[in-house]
Homo-oligomer: A and B are copies of this chain.
Amino acid sequence: MTKLKNDLFLRACKRKKVERTPIWIMRQAGRYLPEYRAVRKKVDFLTMCKTPELAAEVTIQPVDIIGVDAAIIFSDILVIPEAMGMKLEMIESKGPKLYNPIRSISDINRLRKIDPSKDLKYVLDAVSLAKKELSGRVPLIGFAGSPWTLMTYMVEGGGSSRQVGTEIKKFIYNDPKSAHVLLDKIADAVAEYLSAKIEAGADAVQIFDTWGGLLSPADFEEFSLRYIEKIISQIKRKDEPVIVFAKGVHYKLNKLANCGADVIGLDWTMELGKVRSKIGNKVSLQGNLDPTVLYGNEEKIRNEAVKVLKSFGKNNGHIFNLGHGILPDVKPENAKFLVDVVKEESKKFH
């Protein structure tokens, strides 16, 4: 295995000493980059995910172009429901569609137990290839959706935020038993999948709980957190850190900090400093610049980035990121400017 030339991200995940704060950006391999759009023009989104050469190519682009300290494999969280047997389609400008959404225990029983080495070989191949092509420049992150978030898509059948919430809540309130059967099944699949990604070369993994914030605090514990904990306890790993990003989950931060993750990702509605003083130094924190700040000019971007650094303060255990994915109409030069600013300004905090 190649030794990493830049391991700032991994050290920060473990709250070790770093010379400056590492930065990567959620959805950094994405539509805001002309180089990404050039690849995407040739094939559709899912074909990109399923062609290891293309997935690896766009994975590495932001390392070359904007200079981030970690790469994240280009893929989609919905490859798991697809591997479990659901028909998936990505509809241009409308988002994902999963056909025949889950509504009953018989739907659940029809789902396959996945074998990542066969059913998701294309992702593992993309990971190996990206890892090889990175040749140790920066670490590579693998990811998956949380069971709650994946179940939400599987029950809703789609993902437009306007609608999400209706069908999934009917399901969990009227048939909680089946919901737990499904969550358990997904948790096993995700644990196997993330273990396989690590085996294929991922240096860290992130679990996205995009829809965690739909739940009340008590429901979050019952339907989401429990299964995140299950996954983390089952992942086969040596020292590879696990990051949990639960969007909108401003409550239960103490419980999140004890779920077994090394890093908790925060959205931009929280203050890093306040969260740190609340949960202590158990975990590293990742985040949390408002993604729309990248619509501002350089002065605005610098000021807001420094505010985030200041809020976390002089300490180890901070990975700079946005509080959500980068928006598709952000100028790439603004993303690069942010990366440069964080690299420069964060030295003062270490």
A residues contacting B by CB (< 8 A) are 160-162, 165-166, 169-170, 173-174, 213, 215-219, 248, 250-251, 268-271, 290, 292-293, 295-297, 300, 307, 323, 327, 329
Given A297-B174, A300-B173, is A290 in contact with B160 using a C-beta cutoff of 8 Å? Answer: no
Q: Which residues of B contact A174 (CB under 8 A)?
A: 295-297, 300
Do B251 and A271 touch across chains, with their CB atoms under 8 A apart? yes
CB nearest to A307 among chain B residues: B218
- Our pick among B219, B248, B327 for the contact of A290 (Cβ within 8 Å) is B219
Interface centre among A215, A216, A219, A250 (most CB of B within 10 A): A216
Listed from nearest, the 4 A-B pairs whose CB atoms lie closest are: A169-B292, A173-B296, A170-B295, A250-B250
- Alpha-carbon distance between A173 and B304 when the two chains are bound, in angstroms: 11
Chain B nearest CB: distance from A71 CB in Å?
A: 27
- Alpha-carbon distance between A85 and B327 when the two chains are bound, in angstroms: 32
> Known contacts A170-B292, A216-B290; can you find 15 more A-B pairs with CB under 8 A?
A161-B162, A166-B292, A169-B292, A173-B292, A173-B293, A173-B295, A174-B295, A215-B269, A217-B269, A219-B290, A248-B248, A250-B251, A250-B269, A251-B269, A251-B271
Given A268-B216, A292-B173, is A327 in contact with B166 using a C-beta cutoff of 8 Å? Answer: yes
- Alpha-carbon distance between A307 and B162 when the two chains are bound, in angstroms: 28
| Oligomer: number of copies | 2
> What are 24 A-B pairs at a CB distance below 8 A?
A160-B162, A161-B161, A161-B162, A166-B292, A166-B295, A166-B327, A166-B329, A169-B293, A169-B295, A170-B295, A173-B295, A173-B300, A174-B295, A174-B300, A213-B269, A216-B268, A216-B290, A217-B269, A217-B270, A217-B271, A248-B248, A250-B250, A250-B269, A251-B269
- Alpha-carbon distance between A232 and B179 when the two chains are bound, in angstroms: 45
CB nearest to A159 among chain B residues: B162
Q: Which residues of B contact A173 (CB under 8 A)?
A: 292-293, 295-297, 300
- Alpha-carbon distance between A219 and B296 when the two chains are bound, in angstroms: 14
- Alpha-carbon distance between A292 and B166 when the two chains are bound, in angstroms: 7
Chain B nearest CB: distance from A156 CB in Å?
A: 12
- Alpha-carbon distance between A166 and B290 when the two chains are bound, in angstroms: 12
- Alpha-carbon distance between A174 and B298 when the two chains are bound, in angstroms: 10
- Alpha-carbon distance between A173 and B294 when the two chains are bound, in angstroms: 9
Chain B nearest CB: distance from A252 CB in Å?
A: 10
Q: Which residues of B contact A293 (CB under 8 A)?
A: 169, 173
- Alpha-carbon distance between A217 and B174 when the two chains are bound, in angstroms: 36
Chain B nearest CB: distance from A58 CB in Å?
A: 23
Chain B nearest CB: distance from A278 CB in Å?
A: 12
